[in-house]
A and B are shown apart, each in its own frame.
Chain A
Amino acid sequence: MKDFKKIIFFAPLFFTGVICYGQLDIETFLEGGLADANTYLESYMEPVFIGTGYAFNSGWYNTARPHRTLGFDLTIQPSMAFVPSSAETFTFNNGDYTNLRLRDTSRDEFPTIMGANLDADDIPEIVLVEEGEETLRFTGLTGLGLDETAAPNALYAPTIQLGVGVYKNTELKIRYIPRITVGDEGQQIATDLWGVGVMHDIKQWIPGIKLLPFDLSAFLGYTSFRTEAELDEDAPDQLLELRISGMTAQAMISKEISVLTLYGGIGFSTSISSLKVKGTFETEDEDFVDPIDFNYTSMGPRINAGFRVKLFIFTLHAEYALQQYSTVTAGFGFSYR
């Protein structure tokens, strides 16, 4: 980064680039100092990946009673993970960076992408230091400011899910969105999702409660979401890869009262996410191979409560899960046996 022009393009290109990959000018980003840019942007983007992981871990069940053998349900549901206020900012630590420094160490809180939409005058300045000399100062990236819009400050994950009763009050759950590819050749985006879960009635194995009027089960589920995007039609090896996988383990209880089922659960959820930019990127000074590699993990307790209404074979359900990124899930479907 030798002049204003490069630094001006540095952040916004990545900002819009990750979202609207077609505008991504990776070469300019790389010239900006790869390691430091990775460090900053990894923190900046974190809520998107952690929150989406929580959203995908939601909505696995709406009753603790597994289907009888060959009974089934098909459910469509979006989940929404709310970004906690603690994830709207991140702390810039000088020690994490090679060439970047805070201009004012008392102002070290920067918005994440899910943070407030601030005017640049209100965002702290970062100093680029090269060979011991301050060469540039620039403000950090602003957040999207979703709080200012009608939409909540949240991440979304839609799922389509099939549950099938198999044996001994055990239900197999399958999530699947086939690989969908959009865009022209060289600029295509492909997305797919799959997941598998198992719910098993544990009440049947606990002496003394077998006949009590509620259902008690254990659940374990895994979801994998994948997106790949071509970055440059003239460089077919340049790809953006996004992976989010999550696992949920819960004990849950439910009670049917006529058409209404009330349910709740306790357990944990964990997710692993990554964003990689692969390929060879040439700049004026250097070639970079597989330059971007962000990785995120999250794990924490999860407590949820919800209800389901079943009319004939049709179901409507909604639930709230209390966790680091609390989620709301609502859906509909049909259920047989």
Chain B
Amino acid sequence: MALTFMAITACGDAGVGFNVSKAVPITIQADIPIPDRGNAEAVNDLLVVNPPSITLEYDISEIEAFESALDGLQGSESIIINSLAYEFSDISEEEEVDMDAMVITMETQRSSVDLLNVRRRLQNISRTPISLTDEQREDLASTIANAEPITANVLFDLSELPASADSIIFNYSLIFDITVRARDL
């Protein structure tokens, strides 16, 4: 009786709501083929050449892990992108090379923005933040909430190549830390 009474008289202005947050990693296997080495000379197991850049393009929203994690949340009142990060794994020591540039671009129906453009070494790295503007966060959140496609382009511009491998195969992850704000449940 007491419990039933409470159900009738609840609640205050805030109502019943939750914030649920999760880091959703979108991992793809990157396969950078090694072009014909020609007569390039190996120095310390690396070929000093400047191969053409490789671009990986994929629709994030079609990746199963992403779809599964966000299943049923499209149309949610409020989705917030807390952070975005990237990670490389499964790169062997022989495959580590320098890059002239790594560029991550995301295209939504509203914008296409270079989120990251860095010069760094291709090696195993744990979660590394990508800074986002408020506008970029809102655009990504809106795109996810509306189940619209997000195309990610990742450009790897290597400045050297491993001398022995035929390709560099590794896992590349984009990690979305997302909060869903559910209200008035």
Contacts and interface: CB of A to CB of B under 8 A. Distances in A.
A157 B1 CA distance: 8
B13 A120 contact: no
B70 interface: yes
A153 B1 CA distance: 16
Interface string B89-120: 00000000000000000000000000000000
Given A117-B11, A148-B13, A138 B2 contact: no
B182 interface: yes
B124 to A, nearest CB: 18
A12 B21 contact: no
Interface string A206-233: 0000000000000000000001000000
A95 to B, nearest CB: 23
Interface in A100-159: 113, 116-121, 125, 134-139, 142, 144-149, 151, 155-158
Contacts of B9: 144, 146, 149, 151
B35 interface: no
A87 to B, nearest CB: 14
Contacts of B23: 134
B11 A138 contact: no
Contacts of A52: 2
- Binding site of A, secondary structure by majority: helix, strand, loop or mixed? mixed
A4 B180 contact: yes
Interface stretch (A15-23, A26-34, A264-272): A15-23
Contacts of A191: 1
A138 B20 contact: yes
A8 B20 contact: yes
Most chain A CB within a 10 A radius of its CB, from B4, B16, B18 = B18
Nearest to B180: A4
Contacts of B6: 19, 48, 113, 144, 146, 155
A321 to B, nearest CB: 17
B10 interface: yes
B11 A8 contact: no
B14 A156 contact: no
Interface of A: 2-5, 7-8, 11-12, 15-16, 18-20, 48, 51-52, 55, 113, 116-121, 125, 134-139, 142, 144-149, 151, 155-158, 191, 227, 242
B22 A136 contact: yes
A116 B12 contact: yes
Contacts of A2: 68
29 contacts: A3-B70, A3-B71, A4-B22, A4-B180, A5-B71, A5-B73, A7-B20, A8-B20, A11-B18, A12-B16, A19-B6, A48-B2, A48-B6, A55-B2, A113-B6, A117-B14, A120-B183, A136-B22, A139-B18, A142-B11, A142-B15, A144-B9, A145-B11, A145-B12, A146-B12, A147-B12, A149-B10, A156-B1, A227-B1
B3 interface: yes
A120 B1 contact: no
Contacts of A146: 6, 9-10, 12
B43 interface: no
A41 B116 CA distance: 44
A148 B12 contact: yes
Contacts of A119: 14, 17
A191 B2 CA distance: 12
B53 interface: no
Nearest to B70: A4
Most chain A CB within a 10 A radius of its CB, from B2, B3, B23, B181 = B2
Given A19-B3, A19-B6, A118 B21 contact: no
B175 to A, nearest CB: 12
Ranked 6 nearest A-B pairs via Cβ: A145-B12, A117-B12, A148-B12, A144-B10, A137-B21, A19-B7
Interface string B30-74: 000000000000000000000000000000000000001111110
A144 B11 contact: yes
A10 to B, nearest CB: 9
B21 A120 contact: no
A156 B71 contact: no
A20 B5 CA distance: 11
